[in-house]
Chains A and B, each alone.
Chain A
Amino acid sequence: METRELTCIRCPIGCHITVELENGEVKSITGNSCPRGEEYAASEVTHPVRTVTSLVRVNGGVRPVVSVKTAGDVPKEKMMDAVGALKSVTVDAPVSIGDIIAKDIAGTGADVVATSNVAKK
């Protein structure tokens, strides 16, 4: 029996979750205070994922960059790939919240969307 201690990151409460594993299979999850915690713990010990937030260059905007996020979670080990792939992406102003900036970033299956508005200069 393997025991893993985790800090839940699904919400800012940060529950301390204990997961018991047997041969890589989740046997029990305790310490979470909501179903999201259970889901997180199960995912984190078997297949950890993150939302990636970063910046993309903007042409002709009032600001030179626009903030973006992955519209879904990406595998933790692909975080830097997603960020790296965004470095070569540029968009033309205006950009609005929710605009799709890139599709299926770095083969993660997740689209990247704008999270702020940048008006045209």
Chain B
Amino acid sequence: MSEIKKDLVIIGGGPAGLAAAVSAAGEGVKDILIIERDIRLGGILNQCIHNGFGLHTFKEELTGPEYADRYIDMVRKEQIPYMLDTMVIDLSFDEKTGEKTVTAMNKTEGLFYVRARAVILAMGCRERPRGALNIPGFRPSGIYSAGTAQYYTNMEGKLPGKKVVILGSGDIGLIMARRMTYEGAKVLCVAELQPYSGGLKRNIVQCLDDFGIPLLLSHTVVDIKGKRRVEGVTIAEVDENKKPIPGTEVFYECDTLLLSCGLIPENELTDKLGAKMNPVTGGAFVNDSLETDIPGVYACGNVLHVHDLVDYVSGEAAAAGKNAADFLLGRNVQENDGSVINIKTENGVRYSVPSVVRPAQMPDTLTIRFRVGNEYRDKNLSVYLDGKQLMKLPKRIMAPGEMEQIILVKSKVGEIISGSEGKEHELIIRVEDKE
């Protein structure tokens, strides 16, 4: 079995992996390898042919493949090596030497090991499958996750069905409502279990409203009819406990059911590595360097927490790339008195990335991203550090489908914690009523 050594291995060649690689190379890391399981770089962006990508990163509106191509170009210009059609099957860490071992395989090399000084996890996420949704009925053909239908339609040029019901209002489901309408299918409705949409507002406007496709909030599929092929689905309204309300069932005759019911970070490798995981995000716990609790292993993009915009993935991944470079090149090693700020999220804020900040190591400004658990209108987003109010941001609207962020300023953090006792500090992020 062959064995190679690399300073930095990046697992995943999608938007996160590409941006992390470009950033690490720009920061001076010479010996990088990107490992991608697909036959091309770019990840899921390749099948996201709609526009709306890149407004933050490139100040113009691009489609997914165009956005990916910009980063693929940068990777080629930097001459960063990558392996395609290569699957990473194991990841381990030697506590004595600090060395990470990436076990991978492909058709030409067979099984091989890569010994790495640092690893960036950029494996992305996958869709929640039907099996996780507890919908009764047989298992006929015609039930697809929205992303699978998107792959068939946009990459293979094959339309999965002609009369469609979509369960879940995640962005891919909304995008597919428009896509399948364009391709000549009839999309009957989008049913969403929650009383709010899981997708971006703009997608509701552009993909549903524009085509008169109804969005049924607080509704779910309670039965799938058909043995060989989907013949129809029954949709019912649900009460506040998400239980179907008897008598509200409506049968929709259709040949296809698309599921857009959430994304799950793909962290089997992170689990194998033994990194501490956050049950709320499904990703690893990370500090201000986006480093997991395994030294020299970083995470970014949808494998860390599911993002709404690829622009934010690129930004986060670039930070991970820089931090990995600092680690590899022995830079930014600050005197550390061991003090940490634990971030606590409450009252509507579900989680934060990072979850721990080391005040000595944090950059001058640190972006903290999070999501809220409900739709909030005209509320304040309040941030407290050791009981002192650090921020009070008025928000017209916050929704679970859209990521929120705050910028933590190092100097302001220093002012507060320098005067306080102890090494453990607490930063609280919460939703509050306006006075």
Those of B59-110 within 8 Å (CB) of chain A: 61-63, 65-66, 69
Choose among B69, B183, B202, B210 the residue that contacts A12 (Cβ–Cβ < 8 A): B202
Choose among A14, A16, A50, A55 the residue that contacts B154 (Cβ–Cβ < 8 A): A55
Question: Is the C-beta of A64 less than 8 angstroms from some C-beta in chain B?
Answer: yes
Check A65 against B154 for contact (C-beta < 8 Å). Answer: yes
Q: Give CA–CA (A34, B154) in the complex, Å.
A: 33
Point out residues on A near B: beta carbons under 8 Å: 7-9, 11-12, 14, 16, 31, 50-51, 53-55, 57, 63-65, 67, 69, 76, 79-80, 83, 97, 115-117
Known A7-B201, A53-B49, A115-B66: A63·B182 in contact at CB below 8 Å = no
Known A12-B200, A53-B49: A67·B63 in contact at CB below 8 Å = yes
Chain A residues near B182: list those with CB within 8 A. Answer: 54, 80, 83
What size tier do the contact residues of chain B reach?
20 to 34
Chain A residues near B210: list those with CB within 8 A. Answer: 50, 76, 79
In the complex, residue of chain A having the shortest beta-carbon distance to the beta carbon of B65: A116
Chain B residues near A12: list those with CB within 8 A. Answer: 52, 55, 200, 202, 308-309, 311, 402
Check A57 against B50 for contact (C-beta < 8 Å). Answer: no
Q: Give CA–CA (A58, B161) in the complex, Å.
A: 22
Chain B interface helix/strand/loop/mixed: mixed
Check A14 against B65 for contact (C-beta < 8 Å). Answer: no
Q: Give CA–CA (A35, B206) in the complex, Å.
A: 20
Chain A residues near B402: list those with CB within 8 A. Answer: 12, 14
Q: With contacts defined as CB atoms under 8 Å apart, how many contacts are there between chain A and chain B in the complex?
A: 77
Question: Is the C-beta of B155 less than 8 angstroms from some C-beta in chain A?
Answer: yes
Check A16 against B397 for contact (C-beta < 8 Å). Answer: yes
Chain A residues near B50: list those with CB within 8 A. Answer: 53
Task: Type the 1/0 row for B393-425, where 1 means its CB is closer than 8 Å to any CB of A.
Answer: 000110000100000000000000000000000
Q: Give CA–CA (A70, B55) in the complex, Å.
A: 17
Those of B268-306 within 8 Å (CB) of chain A: none
CB distance from A110 to the nearest CB of B (A): 13
Q: Give CA–CA (A19, B65) in the complex, Å.
A: 35
CB distance from A17 to the nearest CB of B (A): 11
Check A97 against B66 for contact (C-beta < 8 Å). Answer: yes
Question: Is the C-beta of B205 less than 8 angstroms from some C-beta in chain A?
Answer: yes
Choose among B154, B308, B396 the residue that contacts A67 (Cβ–Cβ < 8 A): B154
Known A14-B200, A14-B202: A57·B157 in contact at CB below 8 Å = yes
Q: Give CA–CA (A65, B402) in the complex, Å.
A: 32
CB distance from A114 to the nearest CB of B (A): 9
Chain A residues near B62: list those with CB within 8 A. Answer: 115
Of the candidates B154, B182, B309, B311, the one having the most CB atoms from chain A within 10 angstroms of its own CB is: B182
Q: Give CA–CA (A69, B63) in the complex, Å.
A: 8
Q: Give CA–CA (A53, B63) in the complex, Å.
A: 8
Q: Give CA–CA (A65, B156) in the complex, Å.
A: 7
Known A9-B206, A76-B210: A116·B156 in contact at CB below 8 Å = no
Of the candidates A7, A63, A80, the one having the most CB atoms from chain B within 10 angstroms of its own CB is: A7
Q: Give CA–CA (A26, B52) in the complex, Å.
A: 27
Chain B residues near A11: list those with CB within 8 A. Answer: 55
Question: Is the C-beta of B169 less than 8 angstroms from some C-beta in chain A?
Answer: no
In the complex, residue of chain A having the shortest beta-carbon distance to the beta carbon of B156: A64
Q: Which 9 A-B pairs have the closest CB atoms?
A: A67-B49, A116-B65, A14-B201, A65-B157, A64-B157, A9-B202, A115-B63, A7-B201, A83-B182
Known A7-B204, A14-B200, A69-B63: A116·B52 in contact at CB below 8 Å = no
